[in-house]
């Protein structure tokens, strides 16, 4: 079934994206993200720390590559998505036959049919949306891209790893991982870990513990693949990972752009004295669900994202991280709702457009946890996409950069809102490891309550409507139970 979803064209024709009621045009905008959400409308506002912006100063043979986001507006030239009200397959077949269309695949968890027509999909969508007796909604299969993150491979000449020798685990020995230690020695420390007090979390809290019986929290990452042979990631990537976009590839983990490997390292790189360490430490693992093409400018589509979310949910993911830039989609919203109903927290990024927009996706989806990027001074990064009319589209900010893993056993400095979202996913997974069995709503509230206001940001004074969102998470406060002890006013995303 998954193999039948069309691999997105790299240069698809410009086809207008229709609204789900067929009444308007939603022109694709570069940088409009769409991701997953928290249930029950209670959203965690968070921001977590990462390394300094840009590459460290004494970088040896640095290699830079920036997956430049393609235009996010065009739909697939022939595919559309439809949710039939009628359960009669005979009705479905008859309707599709009249449209000269056929079923490509189905995502039964959310009642979605992916179909292909010989004609223009926007015409089929308009006709389907006119039949409310048989159709809940129809929409074109929009193309999505990655946020425009900068990934710079680095060589810090790390010294030999310091031994993990503290028998009480009362200090954070993960900070001794050789690349993190070397970055501090050359004056380019991973400042986000200090800003968020992650560096003060004792090692014992970053290891599998008796609260979870040694089991790890599963984070699903919808991304570009991952180098599962990287020494800092071996054993952290689960065997049920899959490639939905490139089903014929014998290596489902292949990561051409390096984005997925960087994101995985930010979350779950080993705490072992070598290389770097993930924000979730050893508490979590990643199920990589590859929804992007194997290109340096990866692309995906709505059907692949929706299927990725539902597959992640069915695989038991407790946190789902989606890295994609698209426009509004009822299919993705339904997949998010499905994940929420199964107690999964879904996380995304606000995007890297560097300008204001009326509303921002994924933040405008109901229940989503959405992170923007912040700089070393706890100010909002200049490249954030900012929703001008809807502050609720942002849930919080996270430091913009991190030292992380790169394909081929290398390491990199990665900068962008993708890192903020990955850090948010990691803190939510970390909280689950300390409080197994809590609901996804409570998880979000815990993280929100353990945040620090970004009062030094000029926007804190200039735009009072954003004050509930100008916050950065504090790992140590979360660990010490601050979330459970604090009374907080909820900033609720309306249905």
Q: Are 315 and 86 in contact (CB under 8 A)?
A: no
Instruction: Let me know: does 360 contact 393? Beta carbons within 8 Å.
Output: yes
CA angle 377, 419, 265 (to 5 degrees): 120
d(CA 355, CA 357): 7
CA 276 to chain centre: 20
Catalytic-residue membership of 223: yes
Catalytic residue among 76, 259, 270, 469: 259
Specify whether 6 is catalytic. no
Q: In sequence order, which ranges of 19-154 are alpha helices (DSSP H)?
A: 89-98, 121-129
- DSSP classification of residue 465: G
Segment (H or E) for 243? strand 242-243
DSSP 306: H
Q: Are strands 217-223 and 319-322 parallel, antiparallel or unpaired?
A: parallel
d(CA 363, CA 345): 14
Integer Cα distance of 425 and 164 in angstroms: 26
Give yes or no for a contact between 224 and 254, defined as CB atoms under 8 angstroms apart: no
Find the DSSP H helices in 167-223: 178-185, 191-195
Catalytic residue, chosen from 223, 243, 302, 378, is 223
CB atoms within 10 A of CB 87: 8
For residue 457, CA distances in Å to 194, 380, 471 come to: 18, 7, 10
For residue 88, indicate whether it is catalytic: no
Pick from 353, 399, 355, 359: which is nearest to 376 by CA? 399
What lies within 8 Å, CB to CB, of 481 at 6+ separation is none
Write down the catalytic residue from 178, 401, 406, 418.
Answer: 418
Q: What is the DSSP string of 355-417?
A: SEESS-TTTTSTTBEEEEEE-TTS-B-TT--EESS-GGG--EEEESEEEEEETTTEEEEEESH
Question: What is d(CA 341, CA 166) in angstroms, rounded to the nearest whole number?
Answer: 42
Please identify every residue annotated as catalytic.
Answer: 223, 259, 418
């Amino acid at each position: 079934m998954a193999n039948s979803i069309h691999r997105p064209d790299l240069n698809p024709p410009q086809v207008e994206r229709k609204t789900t009621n067929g009444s308007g045009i939603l022109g694709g905008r570069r940088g409009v993200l769409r991701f997953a959400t928290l249930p029950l409308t209670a959203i965690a506002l968070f921001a977590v720390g990462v390394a300094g912006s840009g590459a460290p100063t004494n970088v040896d043979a640095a290699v830079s590559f920036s997956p430049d986001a393609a235009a996010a507006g065009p739909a697939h030239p022939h595919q559309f998505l439809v949710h039939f009200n009628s359960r009669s397959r005979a009705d479905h077949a008859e309707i599709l036959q009249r449209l000269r269309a056929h079923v490509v695949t189905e995502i039964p968890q959310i009642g979605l049919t992916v179909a292909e027509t010989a004609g223009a999909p926007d015409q089929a969508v308009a006709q389907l949306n006119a039949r409310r007796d048989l159709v809940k909604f129809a929409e074109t299969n929009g193309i999505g891209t990655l946020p425009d993150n900068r990934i710079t491979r680095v060589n810090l000449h790390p010294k030999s790893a310091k031994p993990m020798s503290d028998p009480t685990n009362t200090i954070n020995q993960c900070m001794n991982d050789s690349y993190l230690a070397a970055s501090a020695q050359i004056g380019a420390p991973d400042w986000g870990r200090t800003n968020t007090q992650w560096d003060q979390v004792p090692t014992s809290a970053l290891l599998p513990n008796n609260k979870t019986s040694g089991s790890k929290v599963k984070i699903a990452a919808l991304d570009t693949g991952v180098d599962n042979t990287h020494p800092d990631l071996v054993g952290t990537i689960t065997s049920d990972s899959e490639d939905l976009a490139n089903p014929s590839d014998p290596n489902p983990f292949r990561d051409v752009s390096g984005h997925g490997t960087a994101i995985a390292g930010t979350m779950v790189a080993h705490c072992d004295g070598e290389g770097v360490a993930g924000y979730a430490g050893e508490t979590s693992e990643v199920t990589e669900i590859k929804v992007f093409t194997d290109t340096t400018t990866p692309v995906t589509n709505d059907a692949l994202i929706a299927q990725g979310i539902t597959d992640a949910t069915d695989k038991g993911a407790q946190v789902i991280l989606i890295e994609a830039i698209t426009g509004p989609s009822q299919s993705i919203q339904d997949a998010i709702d499905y994940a929420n109903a199964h107690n999964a927290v879904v996380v995304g990024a606000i995007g890297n457009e560097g300008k204001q927009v009326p509303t921002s996706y994924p933040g405008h989806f109901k229940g989503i946890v959405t992170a923007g990027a912040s700089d070393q001074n706890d100010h909002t990064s200049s490249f954030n996409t900012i929703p001008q009319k809807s502050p609720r589209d942002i849930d919080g900010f996270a430091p913009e950069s991190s030292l992380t893993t790169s394909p081929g056993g290398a390491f990199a400095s990665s900068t962008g809102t993708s890192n903020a979202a990955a850090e948010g996913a990691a803190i939510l997974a970390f909280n689950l490891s300390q409080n197994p069995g809590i609901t996804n709503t409570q998880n979000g509230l815990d993280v929100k309550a353990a945040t620090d206001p970004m009062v030094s940001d000029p926007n804190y004074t200039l735009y009072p409507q954003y004050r509930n969102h100008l916050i950065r998470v504090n790992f140590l406060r979360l660990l010490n139970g601050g979330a459970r002890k604090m009374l907080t006013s909820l900033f609720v995303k309306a249905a």
